[in-house]
Structures are given as C-alpha cells and as structure tokens.
Chain A
Amino acid sequence: MKNDVPEIRLALFGPSSSGKTTFLASYFGNQQRNSFEEAHGYRLEAADVSDGNQLLARYYRMEKGEFPLGTEQFFEYRFGFKVGGLPEPGLHVVWYDYPGGWWERTPKDDSEKAARRDALAKLLTSHVGILLVDGMKYVSEGLPFVRHLLDQFRNEARRISDEFAASGAPLESLPKQWIIAISKADLLPADLTAEKVCRDIVSGAADQLAGVAKAVNSKSFGSQYLLLSSVRGDGGHVIDAHEFIGLQLVAPVALVSVLSELADKAAKGSGFGILKTILERLSALVDLVDKLDDFLPPKYQVLTQLLKALALKDGIDKGADYFREKQAAAAKKGKVLEAAAAALRAELASTAAQRAFFRNQT
C-alpha cells in the first residue's frame, strides 16, 4: 500500500544562508500545527519521528526568535500529507536539505566529497528544483543582485556538471522544472506580486536566465516565479514564526508545473499567467490526462495518479471553499487520493495563491 502513495520530490537550490534550512523547519513546523489543520483540513506528518523532532527543535527555536543553525550534513525528509482524520497519507512530499556550501565549493575531505556527490546525485532525482532568491537583497540591490546570483548559479551548475563528467559518471538529468522563489517575501512591498517580479527579472536579466537555462538544460527555466516567506523577520531575528507566505503552495504549484510541461510537450497549448488562468488553460488537457504515462518521463510517472485526481475541468471558477468541501466529502468516504487532490486544488484556488505565483509564457 505504501508504494502506491504518489510522492513529489522537491529540492531547494541556493547558496549558503539563502534560507533552505529555515524554510524546511517552517514548512514542517507550521503545517503540522493544530491551527493549520483546522484552517486547511490537512497536516503534514514526518515519516521518520526523529527527523520530525529535529525539525521541530529548529522550529521551536524560531518561535523563540532565533534562526536555526546552518545545515552541515545531507538530510532527506519525507512528509506524509494527511487529510482530515484519514489514517493514510494521500501524498508524500520529499525534501532534501544539505550544506549550501557544497553547491559553491568542493570540500577538501575525501569522505565529505563522497557525501556531497551522493547528495547532489539525489537532488537530481527531484521533480522540481526551486532556486531561492533572497527577497531582501532583491529589494535593496535590485536587478544587479539577481544577475549576479544567476551568473553564479550558472557557473556552479556548469562546474558541477564538468566535475561529474570528468569523473566518468556524467549527470544524467537535472530537474526539468524550475521555480524561482523570492524568499523573505514578508519584507517585499505589499503590492509586489509574483507577476511583477517575473516581468522585472525576465526583462532585466534575460541573458542570465538564458545562461542558466542552458547550463541546467531546461528551456523553461526562468518562467515560473513564487513568493515565499518562511517566517516574519527583521533580517537578523524571527519576529513571528507562525506568519508565512506560500509554504502551502509549493507542492501544488510544483504539480501545476509538471502539468504545464506536459501541455507543452503534447502541444495542447500551455499554462501561463496567474494560477487561475493556468488552470483554465490546462483544463483543455483533460482528454490527455488518461494517457499521462505516454507523455511523462519515468521520473514523473509516480505522480500520474495524483495528477489525474486533480480533475482539472472541475470547479474552474470556484474558490477555495468549494474544494475544501470536496476535500471533506472525500475524506469522509475514505478516498485518500481524492481528498489530497482536492486539498491541493483548494490551495491553488486561494486568493493568496493568485498573488504568490506566476508563470510566464516561454
């Protein structure tokens, strides 16, 4: 039964201190709280209790106002997405955390080199890569900061690819789906949307985006933008660990990203715009959904069931409440997968999601 649960694997990319560890602690900490479950009708549960406790220890530290220590080892976290009172998760969300420095520099110690290599190889099995852009620096330094970050990321991606190729085991595939996430979104002006950020970066850093797209071999790199905030902070301290932006959107947005790629591949139009528009466009894909496995690369086929359960045509004009009701009804009947899919649709239909995500036409 456990093997039948679809899983989505997500990896955060970004230099040391870009907020990967804080994100994960907040991601788990906030989505397993009782108040979150009351409002959203689901919660996250760590598959490994000691992993969950470790993340909670970091989360409690944030509740006291301190950011967690940086990560100095590779960790794989597996969370069960549990709807209502259902005993089984409808979806597993898998995250990888690792020292950001591993992306920037080759360690001197041989066994750390080997651990880094294993970790990077795992990252490549992700369905979606999320590149973190420090929102505070984006606001204060503007596009020069973004250009520098993208150039740096391109160079690191190339260096690591070359390093693997030189060692006789070239990288087989990097994630095809990428989301550029503007972190620390709590520090952004209130009227700044993902769409505005996208327009700004696409017009002001086109060359750098094209450079990364080539380096990671993903034509769509730079087309998807998400506003994220793990906590409300002042740059040095956590002011409120319970205030976050976009955490609950990451998994559903990643699925939409996979579907959009599918639409591109099948030449059935493409999903772009704000989430509502994307879902409207993707609903044209319904006749194709039954044949998902023909289009999806093997790495994505573990998601097929869930993608089908999203029922794209249903409730296009409906808001989050409509899907929450569907979620509750499915949970009542013990339909785990349908309940999870409805919960994800509810997140995508929320007003907050319309501001926080934007996909540009590529």
Chain B
Amino acid sequence: MRIDLDSVLWRTRGRTWDYGFVLRPVHPHIETWYDFHADAFSGATPGRDPVSVGGVLLTIDGEKVPFVATTFQDPTLRDAAGRPVAHYFVWFPTIAGAPADLELPADWGPQVVQAFGDEWKTAFSSDGASDDDLLAPARSMIKEVPLSDAGGSSIRFDRRVVEKKKRQAVPPTSKTNRTRLVTAAVGALILALVIYWLTHR
C-alpha cells in the first residue's frame, strides 16, 4: 500500500516553533483544517505507541470522504524545553465502495516521518518561518510513501466529522454592530429630512 502525500494532513511542532500544519492536503479541499483536526483527534492522546482512529469527513458539498488518523510522540526529538514532540497525521485514502474499515500497519505515521528523513529534520530545527506549509516543497519531491506490511491492524471508519463552515475572519462585535446600526439610523434620518425639505420647499 502507498500513501499519496497529496492526501495527507500533518500537524506537529519544531524545536522552537509551536504546533502548526506542516502539510495540508491538496484533496479533499476544505478551508477549515484546524476545526477538522480538533474533531478528528478528539479524545486521542499522543503516547509512545501510535494511536489510530478512522472516520468519514462529511463535506459541505455532501461528499463523504473516508480518513484514517494517527497520533504519537516522536521517539527521539524534544522541543527547546525538553518536552516530547507529538505528530498528528490524517490520510484520506482513495478507496472504492464504502468499506467499513482499512488494514494498515500500526506504525504508518512513523513510516511517513521516516520517509521525509533529512527534510523533516531540517524543518524541525528551522525557525518555522515559511509562506507555504513547511514540508510542501519536500512533498513535491517525495510524492508518495510505500508502507511496509509488518504489524497490520484494522481501522474502522466509525468517526463522523462534519466540515465546519469557514468562520468570518472578523466576527462583528456588539460594538461594531451598534456602530453600524447608529450610522444606518442617522443616514436614514438625514435622507428623510432632505426628502421632506425637497418636497415641501
């Protein structure tokens, strides 16, 4: 089995930069990956051994996209404060039909980390500044990760995650709402006075 990296969501942290997405999928395309991530990993705590969950993403367009997710602590890396580093992976496999589960090696996440080799180590030690997702350039070279078959386990697609609508970048505050209402009311009053003055002149 091969993991197509265009369908992988990867969140982790560096030695000095905090948790963020280092890879976001090309497909499926949604705009609320952080919300999806929070729901997909709800209740899953990264430990030394990978923890995997599976589910289906229900997109706003009505599409049902199966996914498998895994989280674990990096076996060697520590952040600047000496704390373990967690990885969170989600893969959206292209599979025919609507199977109830998928057989995957328990360490499929660590295998993806390994495939990024020095690219990942460089990103980890960097200052994290980048206009693009940090590992997007490496993905375009690696493209896919062939998985070794050892230690396979079945992951059921039993979690349902509904795509959240994109929130407004600026939620209107009560103050801005009030300001808008007052402006509109004053505008309407002035307009009414002008009309009255014009019609009764």
Contacts and interface: CB of A to CB of B under 8 A. Distances in A.
A99 B18 contact: yes
Given A16-B18, A115-B34, A169 B170 contact: yes
Interface residues of B, number: 40
Residue from the set A57, A69, A101, A110 with the largest chain B CB neighbour count within 10 Å: A69
B175 A172 contact: yes
A14 B176 CA distance: 30
B133 interface: yes
B153 to A, nearest CB: 24
Interface in B161-196: 164, 166-173, 175-176
B164 A111 contact: yes
B169 A113 contact: yes
A168 interface: yes
A108 B20 CA distance: 8
B54 interface: no
Contact of A108 (B21, B83, B84, B176): B21
A167 B11 contact: no
Interface size class of A (residues with CB under 8 A): 35 or more
A17 B81 contact: yes
B37 to A, nearest CB: 9
Nearest to A112: B34
Interface string A125-149: 0000000000000000000000000
A307 to B, nearest CB: 27
B38 interface: yes
B171 A169 contact: yes
Interface in B11-41: 11, 13, 16-21, 24, 31-36, 38
Contacts of B35: 111, 115
A67 B11 CA distance: 20
A269 interface: no
Interface of B: 11, 13, 16-21, 24, 31-36, 38, 45-46, 73, 78-84, 86, 128, 133, 164, 166-173, 175-176
A73 B38 contact: yes
A206 B60 CA distance: 54
B81 A111 contact: no
Q: Please provide the 3 A-B residue pairs with the shortest distance between their CB atoms, ordered closest to farther.
A: A101-B18, A17-B81, A112-B34
B133 A167 contact: no
Residue in A66, A68, A73, A114 whose Cβ sees the most chain B Cβ within 10 Å? A114
Contact of A111 (B13, B45, B166): B166
Nearest to B134: A108
Given A72-B19, A100-B18, A102-B18, A111 B34 contact: yes
A107 B81 contact: no
A78 B161 CA distance: 27
Nearest to A50: B43
A68 B86 CA distance: 11
8 contacts: A67-B81, A72-B13, A101-B20, A110-B32, A111-B32, A172-B173, A236-B78, A236-B82
Contacts of B32: 110-111
A70 interface: yes
A101 B32 CA distance: 19
